[in-house]
Structure 1
């Protein structure tokens, strides 16, 4: 197995540049997730690594090989797509071994590799079935098995769980995590779902408009975001963002009834605006007279989400646990510990530290 290196990678369609000078190192055996909103360039970047999109400028290395202009078949990668793309007239066993058969591998070798992939993915009892007799999750496992039998240096996953229902998505996340642990291959995975990114990744690459916003482990990005975009994208529910004004070495937040936050962060001069970030689980809500009202409560069993309306028009989400219920429409107060607040520049949206 081997790693992947991108150096000043650029992709243009005519005069339109969609990938902007990306430098990235994915280590041998690492599970790297590209995450970001639709249209951010994550699938394009994955397809550039696969060779399905031509790289306009820059270089892509897989291990020590420069594969920038190699055909996809020469790169030593295997790709799993959102659609299963299985041959409906073939059995599971035939689907998994078809690529090796077309490349002239001996029948005994194909059978051995299919059997090993089937063992890893727990598909032994389905080998004789046709795709129409399988569930969506089973079909996706077959598609992954087809990639495994090729013995690639790098596995590429392009939103492989998007077509599955919620329960199957959870099951397949576990399957993919277990697969990575067992075979130890380098894997690059594209998703717009930050929960998938957080639960699967060794390393997350957050993309926006073809630029890398930040690279790091899931908890690094969660606890130490570089800017407002990363802070809002990583974490569910998303971080609350409120307007603040610098005052006497702290920040005053109008949406919280003029609540002043004490901080040692390097702030702009007094009376300058900043953006205050507060994670829902760091907030506490209680009944009390204020300009904040509990607009809606979502009950999810062990956890609830309170949606608060403020006099300034800014929205606040609070994560609560337990059975205590505040009636919708009730005036409430919001409290938190000052060190839990994040601060961002009002113009650049960069993190203030």
Structure 2
């Protein structure tokens, strides 16, 4: 197996540039997840690695080979798409082995590789079935098996679970994580779902508008985001952001939180605007009448309480008690001030540390 190295990679469609000088190194055997909102460039970047999109500039290397201009078949990669793309008239075994058959591999070799992929993916009982007789999760396992049979250096996944229902998504996340542990291959995985990113990745690459905002291990990004975008994207429910004004060194006043927040972060001068970030689990409902309950999501072990502050700002609280709040209730709010993060009041929203 081998890693992937991108150097100053760009992509333009006509006059529109969608990837802006991306530098990234994916280590040998690493599970790397590209995450970001729709239109951020994550699938385009994956397709450039696969050779399905030409680069407009920069270099792509797989292992020690420069594959920037190489054909997809010569890159040593296998791609698993959102759609299963299985041949309906072929059995599971025939679908998995078809690529090797087309490249002239001996039948005995194909059978051996199909059997091994079937063992890994627990498809032995389905090898003689056709796709119409399979569930969505089983079809996706067949598509992954087709990739395994090719013996690629790098696996590329483009939102492979987005067509599955919630229960199957969880099941397939477990399967893909187990697959990575078993075969130890380098894997690059694209998703818009940050829960998938957090649960699968060794390394997360957060993209926005064709630019890498931050790269790191899942919990590193969660606990130490570089900017407001990453702080808001990583974590579910998203971090709360409220306006604040610097009162003096180390002290920020926020009307949304109804109080001052002390910090040792490097703040701008008194009177400057900043943004205060607090995750839902660091807020608590108290007695009072400064915030209005808009909705509660009671999920059993956890309840999410949606509030509107007196100044109109929106907040979400994560509660683990059996709360009985209802629409229109007026409540107070407390918060863990030492867990607050501070960001510039700007489009980039850089973290103040």
Q: TM-score, normalization: structure 2?
A: 0.98
Identify the residue that residue 339 of structure 2 maps to in structure 1: 340
**Which residue is 1:199 aligned to?**
199
1:321 and 1:338 map into 2 onto residues whose CA distance is 19
SS at match of 2:351: coil
Query: Where does 1:85-164 land on structure 2 (aligned, <5 Å)?
Result: 85-164=85-164
1:306 aligns with 2:328: no
1:139-165 C-alpha deviation (Å, 9 max, x unpaired): 000000000000000000000001000
Local SS of the residue matching 1:118? helix
Asked if 2 retains the 8 angstrom alpha-carbon contact of 1:256 and 1:292, the reply is no
**Offset of residue 336 of structure 1:** 1.5
In 1, Cα distance between the equivalents of 2:322 and 2:350? Answer: 38
Alpha-carbon shift at residue 120 of structure 1 (Å):
0.1
Q: SS at the partner of 1:256? A: coil
Quick one: distance in 2 between partners of 1:274 and 1:153?
46
Which residue of the partner structure matches residue 265 of structure 1? Answer: 265
Runs of 4+ in 1 over 6 A off after TM superposition: none
Q: Deviations over 1:100-133 (max 9, x none)?
A: 0000000000000000000000000000000000
Match of residue 226 from structure 1: 226
What SS does the aligned partner of 1:298 have? strand
Question: In the aligned structure 1, how far is the partner of 2:89 from the partner of 2:326?
Answer: 58
Distance in 2 (CA, whole Å) between partners of 1:144 and 1:336 is 46
* Residues 1:320 and 2:319 aligned together: yes
Question: How far apart are residue 327 of structure 1 and its match?
Answer: 3.7
Distance 2:281 2:323 in 1: 16
* Matched residue, 2:79: 79
How far off is 1:328 after superposition?
3.2
Contact 1:99/1:150, CA 8 A, preserved across alignment: yes
Whole-angstrom CA distance in 2 between matches of 1:260 and 1:170: 41
**Residue equivalent to 2:172:** 172
Name the CA distance, whole Å, in 2 between partners of 1:166 and 1:153.
30
The question of whether the paired residues in 2 share the 8 Å contact of 1:30 and 1:186 is answered with yes
Preserved contact between residue 305 and residue 320 of structure 1 (Cα < 8 Å): yes
Which residue of structure 1 aligns with residue 282 of structure 2?
282
1-side partners of 2:322 and 2:338: how far apart? 27
The Cα offsets for residues 300-343 of structure 1, whole Å up to 9 and x where unpaired, read as: 11000000111211000000002132343222111112110000
Structure 1, unmatched stretches of 5+, are: none
Q: Which residue of 2 aligns with 1:255?
A: 256
Task: Work out the number of aligned pairs and report it.
Answer: 351
* CA deviation after TM superposition for structure 1 residue 248, in Å: 2.0
| C-alpha contact (below 8 Å) 1:77/1:153 kept by paired residues | yes
